[in-house]
Amino acid sequence: MSGEEAPRADPDALLAAAEREARGKLRIFLGAAPGVGKTYAMLSAARAAQAGGRDVVVGLVETHGRAETEALIAGLELLPRKGMAYRGRLVPEFDLEAALTRRPALLLVDEYAHSNVEGSRHPKRWQDVQDLLAAGIDVWTTLNIQHVESLNDVVQRITGVRVRETVPDAALSKADEIILVDLPSDELLKRLADGKVYVEDTATRAVQSFFKPSNLTALRELALRRVAAQVDSDLVERMQGAAIEGPWAAGERLLVCVGPDMAAERVVREAKRLADLMDAAWFAVTVERPGHVMASLDRQKLDAGLRLAESLGAEVRSLVAADVAAEVLRFARFENVTQIIIGKARRRWPLSALRRPLSDALVRGSAGIAIHVVTAEAGEARAGWRSRLAPAGPLAGYVTAGLGVAAATLLGLVLTRFVALPNVSMLYLLAVLLPALLHGVWPAILASGLSFLAYNFFFIDPVETFTIARPHELLALLVFLIVAVIISAIAGRAREQARLAAQRMRATRRLYDFTRKLAALPDRSSVAEAAVVELHAALGRASVILLAQEGALALTAAWPPEDRLDTASMTAAGWAFDHGEAAGAGTGTLPRAPWLFLPLGGGERGGRIGVVGIEHDGTAPLDTESAGLLGTLAEQTAAALLRTLLSAEVTRVRTAAETERVRNILLASISHDFRTPLASILGAATSLLDYGPGIPEEARHDLLVQMREEAENLDLMVRNLLSMTRLEAGALDMRRDWVDVVELMNRAVATVKKRGATQRFVVTSAPGLPLIEADPSLMDQALGNVVANAVRYAGASARIRLSATVIDGQMVIAVTDDGPGIPAETLPHVFEKFVRAPRGAGDGGDGSGLGLAITRGIVEAHGGSVAARSPAPGQTNGARIALRLPLSPQAATPEDEA
Amino acid sequence: MSAGTVLVVDDEPAIHRFMAPALAANGYEALRADTGAQALALVANRQPDVVILDLGLPDMDGKEVIRRLREWSPVPILVLSARDREVEKIEALDLGADDFINKPFGMGELMARLRAALRHRMQDKGETPVLRLGGVEIDIPRHRVLRGGEEIKLTPKEFELVAFLSRHAGKVLTHRHILRAVWGPAHEHDTQYLRVYVGQLRAKLEADPANPTLIITEPGVGYRAGE
């Protein structure tokens, strides 16, 4: 871009502004500590707003019995609170539904960080506020600085008090306005002393330690800085929106390494703070080593760290590599990361002592990238250590170890009785190897220890004591122990890796099968059915799929079968669908619902197909691995569902194209076939009109006959077209009746003769022929078309034979001629629309190419079939068209009383 | 001398345009009505000998015209209808129409039907002891059927059927109508009875059973006894 070009407004900034226009505006009254007068300030401002004509409603305000606050509320409309049952008590809570129904212009909701009673729509009040804003309601609320998530640690360090109720930073940055309610520390302390400050458990030591001048000053500083940061970012956004050029930050990008230790959450918070200060995007990254098994406790801690990072706005990535440091750096370079934040864990005995700490490795390879190392605090490392020991194998492993050693001892004792065995210790190595392979490291180490003792006790002199007489035997014993432990470790790790590889392979295969299975299914509901069964198999939990049908979600598939969901679940499903985010169990929205719902497909609401639900099994949320699997399976399901939708659309388009093609052929056919008789009629009529007297009598008569015949042809064509249309539309109106086939054949012959057919006709039938149950006039048309066809193509002097017989329980009506026959290339297509044989010896004029197609349509509508053969069976020429019709059980004919 | 007065009820001017001269050429006096109301008024005032009625009229359903006419007039009604609308034809016939002709039609066919209807009107004069159907003579009191002076043996039901058909010669009788009259109301849907008996009668009475002239099938509608 050239320097002269006028700066253009950043579309993202304008978009963000536009989005805020539709939403309600959020104003936060931020204070450094309780008692600075946030609620008071909010109410005063609200009264002013009301006086200015705004529709102000108090959603919820805690007055804590303060008269001055209560006086301010008087005159404002109060939203009644909702009583929520909680542990046998009725807790008056903010009524979100009522607020959404009331829809004031401005709603006051005190205490942004409040945790709602279980069973509410959201667990946190700030989430309620998001719903209100989304509904276009302006909200004013209050917040103390220590409730801000990323400042949580800092506040704890300053005050020594751990704050449990936190608000994610994103919920704070969403505020359109932050008003700092400030009060000098001295004055606050004075208010406290006067009892004007409400603190929940007033008398506790914690409160006293909290309200110390040094604390309050530090908190004030925090609050001021936070507001200043907000002002900065507002300013930047406005300047970008207005396309004012300025010295923007060079775009710092941060990366935080998250590992399975207690420090993880602290490191993540630190990273968030840095990211905020630098106004930088940030990643939270974890690296798993292939073949490395993580204890479940570690896994939980890692998950907690990653979840926190995600909630604080980090982009979370899970990488896999053997060399952790190299992978982190590779990723960092790829993403143009400028700073890396890492926690420094205490060294662990014994293995970690041999390894270089990750931070060192990173620093060594991090040319151009700044590294922040956050050191561990006391207690964190120890907790990590304990957890390392915690994952013990199942009891069976230890039993195997014990039994193996006992067996080895027994075998050794028996063997040494018969042969002199120089190295009984080999038997014990077997006893170590066995549990190592079957149950992993820990049982094997137990086996090593037991072997060591048993070997000593039973085989080393003096036998049956734990003492060792000869020094070289002690050495041998120690070497045995070391070898045993190493074998345990190696065999155990090999076993773990094999198990893990098998598990990965199973997962991969499962995913592959899943995709392939879904890809083969033709429609939405079968895809949904298959998907829930697979989800259930993969995750071991009940699964449901709800798909959008005419705007509403409907339960489409469930495994195990389920035909309805409770209201809470349906609400959660609806929320997930509307917002395109997970909802229900384990999420921030409607967490009490027994299901976790994930949206299926598309970022836009219109692109979403439905939701997939996984039953929550009571306590455990999904671990990262299952969650990842669920995400992948949900994506695959959405893709498969979208595919069926698209293929349905393709089919529809193709059908439309086919219809269009047929219509075009039809039009072409009509214009040709109708023009011919019309031309004849018009020609004959004008001849008679203009030259009537000059035309000899005989020729005049001939012209008139021609007119009549062509008009009859037209009539036939109109009838055929009409029937074809009805057959295709499925609108054939069948009126079945008993039909005498012989009569039918005779009538067909009479009709063509009346139209001037010159051929010889023979009608034959087997004696005692039953009646058929059919629509008489449709059958007239069906057979009439076949006979007319024979007349048209067989030649003027042909012999046309009509016969009716019963073969294999079906009535077979055949029309056979001895004309030139049907060309081999046309034969397979004679019953198709618009297929006409080239005109041979026939003189019956062109048909519309519809006659036999209609015959087939009518016969098939009666449950019968048609067939054409040329040359006719038993002849060297001609053609035979056969109609087969099913016979109905013959109704009894009445006994005659003769 | 006029062969009779014919009222043509149709809203298509083209139909009147060719019908009027054709009827005149055959010695009929043609009356014209474009609506059902006009038709009802003309039947009352001019008492035509036959009414040719199109079922699709602008002001009322053709069937409604038949219903109202039959309340007070026995005038023969010849219905014009599309070929594939059997239900409509049957309803019209059951309401009291005497015959129908499919559109489009040839003038010769129309004139033949007109003559038959007029003859039927003349003939329909109570109980005639001996009826004629083509070359067949049906002697009601004696329960005898003669062709060329030779008696033909018929079962009682065959006789009843042929007697009923000949009594209404020239008129189209719906299956239901015949079944009710000959077999009773309980059998009015048993059309296979009719097929079988008509087949037997044709075999006994017709000169060429493959091309019947005495008992003519009106596909999907009923039968007409020829003359």
Interface test with A, best of B179, B191, B200, B204 (most A CBs within 10 A): B191
Nearest to A110 by CA among A170, A181, A160: A181
SS3 B130: strand
User: pLDDT tens for residues A630-644?
Assistant: 888 888 888 888 888
Lowest mean pLDDT among A422-426, A661-665, A839-843: A839-843
pLDDT confidence tier of residue A389, bands split at 50, 70 and 90: very low
- pLDDT over 60 at A278, yes or no: yes
| pLDDT reported for residue B50 | 93
Tally the C-alpha atoms within 13 A of residue A552's C-alpha that lie toward its C-beta.
Answer: 3
Place of tokens 């203009």: A690
**A790 has a pLDDT exceeding 80:** yes
pLDDT attached to residue A205: 53
Higher-pLDDT residue of B75 and A722 is B75
Q: Do B219 and A763 touch (CB under 8 A)?
A: no
With an 8 Å Cβ cutoff, are A897 and B155 in contact?
yes
Tokens at residue A580, please? 């395109």
Task: Kindly give the confidence (pLDDT) of every residue in chain B, 227 residues in length, as a single tens digit, with 9 standing for 90 and above.
Answer: 577 899 999 988 888 888 888 898 888 999 999 999 999 999 999 999 999 999 888 888 889 999 999 998 889 999 988 766 778 888 999 998 989 988 888 888 888 888 888 877 766 545 677 888 888 888 888 888 888 888 888 898 899 999 898 888 878 899 999 999 998 888 888 888 888 889 889 888 888 887 888 898 888 889 988 76
How many residues are there in chain B?
A: 227
Q: What's chain A's length in residues? A: 898
Q: Reply yes or no on whether the pLDDT at A241 is more than 70.
A: no
Residue spans of the domains in chain B: they are 4-123, 130-225
Burial letters B54-65, b for 16+ CB under 10 A, else e: bbebeeeebbeb
Residues in B closer than 8 angstroms to A708, CB to CB, are 106
Are A894 and B193 inside 8 Å of each other by CB? yes
Distance from the Cα of residue B201 to its chain's centroid: 20
Residue A883 pLDDT > 90: yes
User: Where residue A20 falls among pLDDT bands split at 50, 70, 90?
Assistant: low
**3-class SS at A249?**
coil
More confident residue, A835 or B203: B203
Instruction: Report the C-alpha gap between A762 and A694 in whole angstroms.
Output: 43
Span A184-203, mean pLDDT?
71
Contacts of residue A464, Cβ cutoff 8 Å, sequence gap at least 6: A457, A458
Higher per-residue pLDDT: A234 or B202: B202
Q: Which residues of A touch B199 (CB under 8 A)?
A: 740, 743
User: What gap in Å lies between CA A662 and CA A669, rounded to an integer?
Assistant: 10
Using the beta-carbon criterion (under 8 Å), do A890 and B104 form an inter-chain contact? no
Res. A783: pLDDT tops 90: yes
Residue A346, pLDDT above cutoff 70: no
At A878 the three-state DSSP class reads: coil
Class for the domain spanning A521-652: alpha beta
* Integer Cα distance of B133 and B68 in angstroms: 32
Q: How far is B16 from B52, CA to CA, in rounded Å?
A: 11
User: In this complex, is the C-beta atom of B213 within 8 Å of any C-beta atom belonging to chain A?
Assistant: no
Q: Which residues of B touch A735 (CB under 8 A)?
A: 86-87, 220
Q: Which residue has the higher pLDDT, A657 or A684?
A: A684
CA distances from A824 to A734, A765, A851 (A): 34, 29, 19
Joined together, the tokens standing for residue A645 give 């939708």
Residues of B within 8 A of A719 (CB-CB) are: 83-84
pLDDT on residue B78: 93
Q: Which two tokens stand for residue A783?
A: 């057979």
Distance in angstroms (rounded) separating the CA atoms of residues A555 and A543: 11
Helix A395-418, helix A441-459: angle, nearest 10: 30
Supply the pLDDT for residue B39. 93
Q: Is B219 on the interface with A (CB under 8 A)?
A: yes
CA distance A554 to chain B (A): 44
Q: Chain B within 8 Å of A817 (Cβ-Cβ)?
A: no
Instruction: Evaluate whether B78 touches B114 at the Cβ level (below 8 Å).
Output: yes
**Residue A3 confidence class, pLDDT cut points 50, 70, 90:** very low
* CATH superfamily assigned to domain A253-389: HUPs (3.40.50.620)
Give the amino acid at A170: A
Q: What is the DSSP string of A189-210?
A: HHHHHTT-S--TTTT-HHHHHH
**The two structure tokens encoding residue B151:** 């008696």
The listed CATH number (3.30.565.10, 1.20.1250.20, 3.40.50.300, 3.30.830.10) that belongs to domain A707-886: 3.30.565.10
Q: Do A11-241 and A253-389 come out as alike in CATH topology?
A: yes
**CA distances (Å), origin B142, targets A313, A613, A840, B127, B148:** 110, 88, 60, 14, 17
Tokens 């049982």, located at residue: A443
Residue A52: count other Cβ atoms within 10 Å of its Cβ: 8
Half-sphere exposure for A880 (CA within 13 Å, toward CB) = 18
**Nearest residue in chain A measured CA to CA from B105:** A712
Contact A777 B86 (CB under 8 A): yes
What angle, 0 to 180 degrees and rounded to 10, lies between the N-to-C axes of helices B175-183 and B191-205?
80
The lowest-confidence range among A175-179, A429-433, A511-515, A837-841 is A837-841
CA dist A47 and A65 (Å) reads 19
Contact between A735 and B86 using a beta-carbon 8 Å cutoff: yes
**Which DSSP symbol is given to A606?**
G
- The per-residue pLDDT of chain A, averaged, comes to 78
Cite the beta strand spans of A786-846 per DSSP E.
799-807, 810-817
Distances (CA, A) of A106 to A111, A113, A178, A349, A362: 16, 19, 16, 60, 52
Q: Indicate if the alpha-carbon torsion angle A776, A780, A782, A786 is positive or negative.
A: positive
- Are the CB atoms for A630 and A623 separated by under 8 Å? no
Token output for A532: 């829930």
| CATH of the structural domain B130-225, one choice from 3.40.718.10, 1.25.40.10, 1.10.10.10, 3.50.50.60 | 1.10.10.10
A532, A535, A537, A541 alpha-carbon torsion, rounded to 10°:
-90
Is residue A407 less than 8 Å (CB to CB) from chain B?
Answer: no
Q: At what angle do helices A441-459 and A425-439 cross, to 10 degrees?
A: 160
**Higher pLDDT residue, A621 or A155?**
A155
Quick one: fold of B4-123?
Rossmann fold (3.40.50)
The closest CB to that of A771, out of B183, B192, B220, belongs to B192
Indicate the domain borders of chain A.
11-241, 253-389, 395-497, 521-652, 707-886
Quote the ipTM score.
0.72
Task: Dump the DSSP string for B41-71.
Answer: HHHHHH--SEEEEES--SSS-HHHHHHHHHT
Residue A649 is predicted with a pLDDT of: 81
Strand partners, B32: B8
Query: B58 and chain A: CB distance < 8 Å anywhere?
Result: no
Rounded distance between C-alpha atoms, residue A280 and residue A338, angstroms: 10
- Write down the CATH number for the domain with range A11-241: 3.40.50.300
- CA-nearest of A277, A345, A283 to A313 is A283
Report the C-alpha gap between B93 and B221 in whole angstroms.
9
Closest Cα in chain A, distance from residue B216 (Å)? 10
Between chains, do A897 and B157 touch, taking CB under 8 Å as contact? yes
Span A108-131, average pLDDT: 86
A449-492 pLDDT tens trace: 888 888 888 887 777 777 777 777 778 778 888 888 888 788 77
| Highest-confidence segment of A283-297, A310-324, B35-49 | B35-49
| Poorest-pLDDT segment among A363-372, A384-393, A681-690, A863-872 | A384-393
How many other CB atoms sit within 10 Å of the CB of residue A765? 17
Cα A181 to Cα A66, A88, A145, A454, distances in angstroms: 18, 37, 11, 75
More confident residue, A858 or B1: A858
**pLDDT reported for residue A5:** 45
* B191 interaction partners in chain A (CB closer than 8 Å): 737-738
* Distance (Å) from the alpha carbon of A520 to chain B's nearest alpha carbon: 46
Q: How many CA atoms lie within 13 A of A74 on its CB side?
A: 6
Judged against a pLDDT cut of 70, whether residue A810 lies above it is answered with yes
Q: What pLDDT does A84 receive?
A: 77
The secondary structure of A782-802, three-state, reads HHHHHHHHHHHHHCCCCEEEE
For residue B77, what pLDDT is reported? 93
* pLDDT value at residue A836: 65
